[in-house]
Amino acid sequence: QHYYITNNLRNIMGVQILELSPDPQQSKKIFRAPTGDIVCLDRSPELRGILLDITCVNPVGEQIPLKCEKEKAMFTLKSAGPYKVTWKMCVKPSDKNRNSVYVVTVLADPVITNSTDLTTLPSLKVDQIAAQSHLTKCCGDIENWEDVFRVSLESGYNTVHLTPVQELGVSRSSYSLHSHLKLSSSLKLNSSGGYEEDLKVLSDHLQDLHQKTGMFFLTDVVWNHVSVCNRDILEHPESYYNLHNTPNLIPAYLIDRSIREFSFTLSDSSEITNLHSFYKRLSNHLVETSRKLEELYKIDAGKMFNSKESTTDSLDESLLKRSHIDDVVKQLWQVDYSQSEYGGRVDMGVLRTFLSNREITSIPEQNSQIVTAISLFNEFVAPAAAQDVISKVTTAVVGDVKYRFIDENGPKHQFGDVPLVERYFQISDISFDEEKELDIYDRLDAERIKTCNGWTTGESISDMSKTMAYTKREIVIWGDSIKLRFGNSRQDAPWLWNYMEKYTCDMAKLFHGFRIDNCHNTALHVGEELLRAARRVRPNLYVVAELFTGCEDKDREIINRMGISSCVRELSKSGSPRQLADLIHHYGESKPCGSFINNLPSDQAVNSLPTLSMASSHPHAMLMDQTHDNPCPFDEHPLPNVLALSGLMCAAKCSIGSNRGYDELIPHHIHVVQEERQYQGVRQSHEDAIKPAKRALIKLHQWLEDNGYSETFVDQATEDVVIVTRHHPVTCSKVLVVIATCWSDTFTKTSEHTVNLPGDKVDVLLETEIRGKGSFNPHKELITGLCGVEVNVRENPESSNMVKVSRSEEKLELSFVLSPGCVVATLVHPGKSAQHALNYFNSYVLDKHTFAMELDIVCSSLDLYDLNYILYRCDEEERVDGCGGVYDIPGYGKLTYAGLVGFLHVLEEVKRENNMGHALCRNLCDGWWQAEYSVNRLKNKDINLGFFLEKVFSSLQAVPNHTRPRVFDAVISSVYSACLRQIDTLIPWLSNTERETNSWFVEQLVLTSIQMMGKVGDTGIPVSPYVKDPVVSMAAGLPHFSHGFMRCWGRDTFISLPGLLIATGRLEDARDLVVGFARTLRYGLIPNLLSERGHKPRYNCRDAVWWWCRSVKLLYDHLPSILQEPVYRLYNTDDTPVAAKSSFVCTVLDIINEVLRRHAAGIQFREENAGRQLDEHLLDAGFNMCAGVNHMTGFVRGGSKHNCGTWMDKVGSSLRAGNKGIPATPRDGSAIELVAMGYQTVSWLADLFEIGVGTTSEVTMTTGTSTRVVTLREWSKMIKDSFDEMFWSTSGYYKDTVGSESGCDEKFRPNQTFAMVIAPELFEESHLTLALRNIGAKLAGLLGMSTLCPGDEDYEPQYDTSDNGSNFRTAHGLNYHQGPEWVWCMGFYLRAKLSEFIKQDREEVVGSKEEIDQFFATILTFHRAMIAAEPYRGLTELTNGGGQHCPGSCPTQAWSSACLLEFFVEYQRDFLQSPQ
């Protein structure tokens, strides 16, 4: 969405707008921005106006100050890493399901440099990194490093990644460190000052290498384990996992020991080759262990209950037998592993819930069932759980043995040379016989049993107290490494924390970045704290990690918490070209082609449209053709594919990397444990292999990044050919990188692939291919690769061997001649017409001054009815006028509106996630139909804007197809902004509104006035002689009430008129509606429904005329002449038909006088055309109408139990449920809001008479045959004297009606708030205060007011017109007004509360002005959210109970917005502008 930021920010490059939202999913998203950018924290609509408590913690854990401006908060990304923004609402909304504290993280991408000054050269941005991994032990001593690393430099890399530089353990694994605080002796640092001096020597050497080569350096950090030979750790047993501090490992140890014992029973390899026999023998051997586990798992019921609670009652045994064992354990069962037996525990709370869900609800019954359940656990679950573990263990061991000794792809160890399986636990200096004598429940013995670390792609093993992975043998174990235990905080293992922090900071001093080994098994709080320490040393630390959680949400959590710059992703592990293309699409597409969100180099930046909010992104990747800790790619790929993988990698927009040996075509795995030979240096390396090709490909990768080719599209053109297109967002030139993969024998010969695309000129940037198989001569001391492989590299060739170009006007046909594994890159320039169109777009449309100024001139002639047509008009409105309906997007469906708002709503969805694959974007890329539709609509109505846009889109016709969504959005967004500026000039109240907390929301409400008021041909409003046809009419709601007799409702119109028309200054429109409906007066009433220009109205409501009177009174305050407006009556008398040419002319004031006179005399009639043809559901008696005045109280009264005369007008229609023809809410007698409006009208006319404006001072009240004359002042006094006494209920609210014969007097409804606002002087102050408190507690919902108190026997909050059931109260939606929450009522409730606040002493009774402001802002939280998200851009008619969506509700209802606008008028006038 477009959110306009302040002028002083709009021109700053590098401003990132992050919209805070209470959406709980936001914390799971990744938001990235370059270091140095400013982040502006904006708010989603529902948060506008609410006080927020916002804090921000920088990457080193320090809270940073926020620069606040109005409702925005800003901070600068001064260094790399995670900026954690935490916020909460100072006043919480009433939605219980929302969290009170929210977190969103901004990741600042590092700029790698040797200085804290980001402009220092050389420096690298993350997408410029091209790293090559080296095993440190194979690099030789540091004097040899320059020679070794220059091979990387000459291959195009700018970064060297080294495995740990520490002294290695006995296994010689590159990741099993003897000590983290001792550098490797193989480096030959030749210092005599110990560790600190060694650090300085290595630091100086790396600095010297950086100065000579310009290369940057990364290293692995190893936090999770240490070598088994490390003696320091033995002095701190709390720092590693053992059976004492983690007793849940005891079962795993017992199993591990039993397997070790079993291995001694095997005599030769024949006993393992028969896997079926081996499985059976192992399973039998583990029986004793299974029994131990069973005893451990059992529960001692006596510890939980005394014997008196035992019972013979039985729990359904089949329940436990049928349940999956894992589910039972996870839900109900806990185990205390420190016990040798009966360690089982039951979570009593969960078990009680488990039982109550099966309708076992009483506590005694539950207790007896629990005791029974425990015995069943012991009988069924404990043995089954133990057997389940043993079964999984046996399967895992057999699989491990098969891989180690039998599989062709495994290491094929010889039996007896290595242990049967790696042990999960290590005990130093002890024999196996001695080990069996250890007491695992003795502290000292338990601490000797150290847990080995391992690797898993599934369940994290960062916290060993919460995993069963060791017990079930699900770990790829590293028997040479001890798993370290940091605990929950530094206090749990202070020595280890200090040790690792020292190590981490030392490495941060030496290296520009880290690769976190085994990151997904690193405890989050550990990674967070250690990286904070490292970033204090090196603020722009680059952090890359291997993350294999198997869950992207978990990946995102780790990335955000630790601030990981890039995740390692490996191409050579892909199993097909499709998987390759998917990887590039997922991780190598920073922004899709035609993206709405551009990251342009500063010299190409366009100061254009309002800044877009930040879009979330996929995890950033370091995409590698091969990593150093996986097998050689030759094991799975033909030789040509090695080059193809590199080509794909270098075409991606992300960090890239490879393993030393890949480019030299080493045909075997350079093993991190077993390899001891040395890499070749430049003086020894004589075979180029694919190094020249890699250098050219990396050069291409850098060129694409440096020159702003920031948009990416990936296409698997054929089974073997993948094309990665990199687009320039400004020039729209594109680079096609065509890669011919070679997965198998399906593609072994040269073939041709043709691409057709628009363009004028083609430059071939690179051609490279690989031929021959080569030969391998291994060297004893050096790591060498294949010899004799031919690799051809041609950069910027004058003539191409692999690309044939055919031109036709501005269209190109590129024929690529492809050999297996080849890579071709071509630069395609747009044609001249496309360039002209792009220049026009960039220099004119995106020029916010010139284009906006011309648009303002064009729009200056538009009136509000033109703007209704330009912005809105639903499908039915369009079709009635013969316009063909709204635009229908293939694959998406019809838009909500034919006007611009219909398109903009969908574009906001697209832009929020930068979703260029959306159906709207595809439709635009296929053709300019959306633009043509919009232009033709306006031209058909002869609106100048249409002719202007025709010229604009004509000039943009030739822009490249993929840019059309961006171009279309830029144009119509600018037009929309110009329309808003024109509305500002036409509705002065809007431009003068307090533009602070509520300005955006008020603007949206005001726009519903434009939305609802339009010229629709079949409107029912009778045309006055001075009003042009078609008449302007107000829709009750869209799209449900858009045309015909359903468009103009007397009641809805005059409830909405004060807010939509008077408040917005549309006085002439208000006058026309007042006069138009006045023409239809009959029986002393105005109709609720009109059709055929008032010729067939229905006078079936008692309230519409009073809402009309109220509107006249409010309009009189702004337009006093309204009372003298001529009214050309349609009906000369009640009984005459519509006059063909009315000769009965009176004034609006005469109409009001007649309304009072007729009510005082009493009204009785039967509806014209009564019967099924008029209303198929109403009973015959329901067509009999009556209204009048109670002569004792002066209250307006009327109606019967057979009909509904107020807004609560639902009549039943279900024969099955028996409610057909039955009114749900008759509200007969004196309805409270009608009494208030009657009082208001009578009092007003009395005032008018006294100042000489009114013409009537008295009425004649008739009862039966008696009559009496009453002055208007006496009448108003009768009402006031009787009101509180008659309507007040001792239950603490005002009754809904008085004198009802249908029994509805005592109903607790929101209608009392209408009366409180309309005639507050009728209410006793203490009663009003109490009533408002109860209304707020019992009726106020999230968006609307409950139409009936939840405690009422008739309360049914779920409205569903499709309910065909037999429930009388709900069938066919009879409960329309019996619990569902209506939004328009909220406006009156807020006005009543506002009046109460203003009357009271704010400091002592209510609170400060700021607190009151927050009260209203919080209540309107969900209204702001709805109007922003609703495709119809309005507030809904109603919701079901609790604010739940009601499918049958009209999406935007006139009175829902209008009543809130009335509230804001009073809020600004009486509250914001009043003194404190």
- Active site positions, annotated: 517, 520, 629
Do residues 561 and 624 lie in contact, with contact meaning Cβ atoms separated by under 8 Å?
no
Q: Which residue matches tokens 């320490």? A: 533
Q: Residues in the chain, how many?
A: 1476
User: What are the structure tokens assigned to 595, written together?
Assistant: 């993206």
Residue 1436's region, left for phi above 0, alpha for psi from -120 to 50, else beta, is: beta
Do residues 1421 and 47 lie in contact, with contact meaning Cβ atoms separated by under 8 Å?
yes
177 strand-pairing partners = 168
Distance CA 1094, CA 1088 (A): 11
3-state SS class at 740? strand
**Strand 1196-1198, strand 1184-1189: pairing:** antiparallel
Distance CA 1447, CA 748 (A): 59
Nearest to 1324 by CA among 1278, 1292, 1276: 1292
Do residues 1042 and 1012 lie in contact, with contact meaning Cβ atoms separated by under 8 Å?
no
The angle subtended at Cα 16 by Cα 14 and Cα 20, nearest 5°, is 170
Distance CA 1157, CA 165 (A): 101
Nearest to 682 by CA among 159, 150, 208: 150
Torsion over CA of 705, 708, 711 and 717, rounded to 10 degrees?
-60
Do residues 1276 and 1246 lie in contact, with contact meaning Cβ atoms separated by under 8 Å?
yes
Distance CA 1343, CA 1421 (A): 9
CA distance from start to end of the chain: 36
Do residues 1034 and 1013 lie in contact, with contact meaning Cβ atoms separated by under 8 Å?
yes
**Strand 344-346, strand 591-592: pairing:** unpaired
3-state SS class at 792? strand
Residue 1221's region, left for phi above 0, alpha for psi from -120 to 50, else beta, is: left
What is the distance of C-alpha 515 from the center of its chain?
30
DSSP per-residue codes, 1060-1129: IIITTT-HHHHHHHHHHHHTT-BTTB--SB--TTTTS-B---SSHHHHHHHHHHHHHTT-GGGGG-EEE-
| Cβ atoms within 10 Å of 339's Cβ, excluding its own | 17
Using alpha carbons only, how large is the chain's radius of gyration in Å? 40
Nearest to 613 by CA among 86, 5, 1338, 1178: 5
103 strand-pairing partners = 86
What 8-state DSSP symbol labels residue 415?
B
3-state SS class at 788? coil
Contacts of 684 (CB under 8 A, 6+ apart): 147, 782
Distance CA 898, CA 877 (A): 9
Distance CA 1242, CA 1258 (A): 10
Going from the C-alpha of 514 to that of each of 153, 541, 545, 1360, the distances in angstroms are 20, 7, 8, 59
Alpha helices in 890-928 (DSSP H): 900-913, 919-926
